[in-house]
Structure 1
């Protein structure tokens, strides 16, 4: 009896020789027919893998005894002229193929990826062996994409309740991200592409998908990156919508921290920047609406400062620079004293607050310069208000606010956060506010050697 034809269904029906091209044969293409593809042929390899399946029970990580046994098997068959080494290898030798086929079987065959595994291991193995014969699964296996294999490994571990496999998957995915960072983030603006992709994923998920753990933690961490991207590119962010300011916390309203409310104001400010640029581009701009929005945001920011001061009245203190301080140049120390905090998030809140206050003051200055008819703000305490701390607080002195941010950089450097994208926005704003040619500006412009990201002068007056 001859071998079964491997041709597509159309060629077999027409009794023609099929060229077996993937994903569609050329005969069907030439005949302007839709190639229905190829039949999946189940290959029963139960006898070959029975012993290995019983020993490993689909364990991806072999024990020391299994590794030794596998080594002995391979060594003994290497010297056999006609021996097939694959015939006696345990399943761990096919780890990558198995986990990718498992992922394909569970996800692309309309099956729940986390459904408990079949009690019949041989039946499940047969499904995966059949799945590996499909052209698109073979393509996935041959691609050797580390992120794909990490995902497949994680699904395999979750479905089979193998914590060790999940740990290995996390490590493998971390290694893939490290390689991506080397390729993308060292290109200067690579973080922007990362932020764009992150924004699309987060917006598609919607706010209700960020209410539980760990989704909300990821949302809170990445919101800083997204709003920084929006401000630096002067574009409104979807995070300014009311539902994105409320829904992630609606199950636990008390968990919304003071810093979270500051980020709400930052999200609104990104929209003000876009409106400002749009108005300035018109032939006869009207600034009244922009003035009202700016005053409202300044009031919101002042209210935020007063609340933060109530919660953390003694958060900041002045300290002398350490001997190995980074805040020095060839002339000596940049500042006689620096700022330190007991809590990192208090320090981070202040550097973000100062940067936002500088930008709001710059917006007001632009509006005042372009429209002298706009009345100066007269409400007491709107631009300046004294406080009993070492911080500027509610102040209209933009340069003093910028220098205060500079005095915070030693603290961030010690805590190893200064090189992340989360401080890029306040650093760019600080750099843009410092007088050009000043010692502080020169130091910040050449500070990448201390682990800071490359800074760019950012000012509202610049297009």
Structure 2
């Protein structure tokens, strides 16, 4: 491959394998495959000649000091490359490259792939590498990034560009073909499908088309079996995709396979893996889809066996107790005086919103089984105490409204013009659930409408935030949004 001259925009060749370059780690440079990748369980992409773009000093500025080697261990290199592509397009006039770099800027901001966590980190590493033009991965990347760019950077539009729609159709065909040919599903295919999931969050080709991709990812991971997700990139994907799997099962009111003993063991974090408050919450939430399935059976008169009834009651109580313990031990308060720890809203708000969403989804089952739903607790997220807190409200509707209002308040505090992509997406499901439990004609109805329609859909380009008929109603398959 012909490389640009060494002095072009401060570029230089890298000897790292593609995997170590994407992960921003040291490479042992032992061809044909890297021993570092093999040791950690990653698939080595091999050694390719590549050009790393590093920051360019504006004309008139002093040259870098002799001791500084631009590009090597410089975490600003990737960000600078994206900024230059988006603002000037002088290094890569290709529209697809510009769209990709714009998406990456909105995904990780001024940080790098290695600084993130979960799906943002995996997605950044997937997109921030050379994907062969015409490949399945390239088609899925193109569909996602071109649609996002055309719906946001080029002004608010009703529909994505024709190029994005055409590429999405091609990507769907390629994904179906790949699934039909392979008995096992590799990380690249799963990440490609995740690109299509995000495309549907942006475009919404059909009211419930988004769930098909969520179901697809869940099915493919389950088909591979837990033994495939013990280490390396596969394990990163399993842990990052827990949210997707839980949402898929919960939306369909089907038991989540992650609640099975073998999978529950697979998602347990070992002592070497970093964890946050969301990790513990997700591992509790794997039981919620099964409880929603039990709710359907109870309402349909199918839960006639006393033993199954008792099992459902016990499972519900255990889940509520786990949610209460998570609340008590995480961050809601640090003393009897309800003093809040010094954490930013951005760090804690998504987890609190997910916690409140889980409680709202379980309220009807608690009512039917006569299990206490909420216990008195101090206000969450630093929001000042109000008379309409769930523990102070008297009717079921008032209690649900109060908890849903807290989700709205959390989103209002967290989502702004500069919020990154996943900072917006993590509120998508909680806000839809909250909408279903707010009292009609309340002030919060106007507030949530502004957040979802004007900010999330209008400014950030995620039309899934709009209330499309039949798209989404409290994790159910209902065709009504009332």
Normalising by structure 2, we get a TM-score of 0.50
Cα pair distance change 1:394/1:203, threshold 3 Å: farther
Matched position secondary structure for 2:254: coil
* Cα distance between partner residues in 1 of 2:359 and 2:311: 19
- Aligned residues of 1:432 and 1:459 also touching (Cα < 8 A): yes
- 1:158 maps to which residue? 45
- 2:456 maps to which residue? 451
- 1:428 maps to which residue? 432
* Cα distance between partner residues in 2 of 1:461 and 1:225: 15
Matched position secondary structure for 2:130: helix
* Cα distance between partner residues in 2 of 1:462 and 1:190: 12
Cα pair distance change 1:274/1:213, threshold 3 Å: same
- 1:239 maps to which residue? 258
- 2:406 maps to which residue? 404
State which of 383, 389, 398 in structure 1 corresponds to 2:374. Answer: 383
Q: Which stretches in structure 1 are left out of the alignment for 5+ residues?
A: 1-59, 66-113, 118-154, 318-339, 369-373
Larger displacement relative to structure 2 (342-351 or 278-287) = 278-287
* Cα distance between partner residues in 1 of 2:442 and 2:4: 63
Q: Which stretches in structure 2 are left out of the alignment for 5+ residues?
A: 7-29, 34-42, 53-125, 148-164, 166-198, 394-398, 458-464
How far off its partner does 1:450 sit? 0.9
State which of 285, 298, 320 in structure 1 corresponds to 2:320. Answer: 298
State which of 441, 445, 455 in structure 2 corresponds to 1:441. Answer: 445
* Cα distance between partner residues in 1 of 2:129 and 2:377: 55
- Aligned residues of 1:116 and 1:159 also touching (Cα < 8 A): yes
- Aligned residues of 2:438 and 2:445 also touching (Cα < 8 A): yes
Aligned length: 286
Structure 1 residues 63-119: Cα deviation after superposition (integer angstroms, max 9, x where no partner):
459xxxxxxxxxxxxxxxxxxxxxxxxxxxxxxxxxxxxxxxxxxxxxxxx9839xx
Cα pair distance change 1:236/1:398, threshold 3 Å: same
- 1:224 maps to which residue? 243
Structure number with greater Rg is 1
Structure 1 residues 400-423: Cα deviation after superposition (integer angstroms, max 9, x where no partner):
111111111123313334775543
How far off its partner does 1:263 sit? 1.0
Matched position secondary structure for 2:331: helix
Report matched runs for 1:301-380 at 5 Å.
301-309=323-331, 342=344, 344-365=346-367, 367-368=368-369, 377=372
Cα pair distance change 1:262/1:171, threshold 3 Å: farther
Larger displacement relative to structure 2 (298-307 or 279-288) = 279-288
* Cα distance between partner residues in 2 of 1:315 and 1:265: 26
How far off its partner does 1:354 sit? 0.7
Cα pair distance change 1:169/1:289, threshold 3 Å: same
Matched position secondary structure for 1:158: coil
* Cα distance between partner residues in 1 of 2:332 and 2:47: 51
- 2:19 maps to which residue? none
How far off its partner does 1:256 sit? 4.1
By relative contact order (CA 8 Å, sep 6+), the higher-ranking structure is 2
Cα pair distance change 1:350/1:280, threshold 3 Å: same
The alignment status of 1:169 with 2:130, answered yes or no, reads: yes
How far off its partner does 1:344 sit? 2.8
Q: Could you say what the CA RMSD is over the residues aligned between the two structures, in angstroms?
A: 4.0
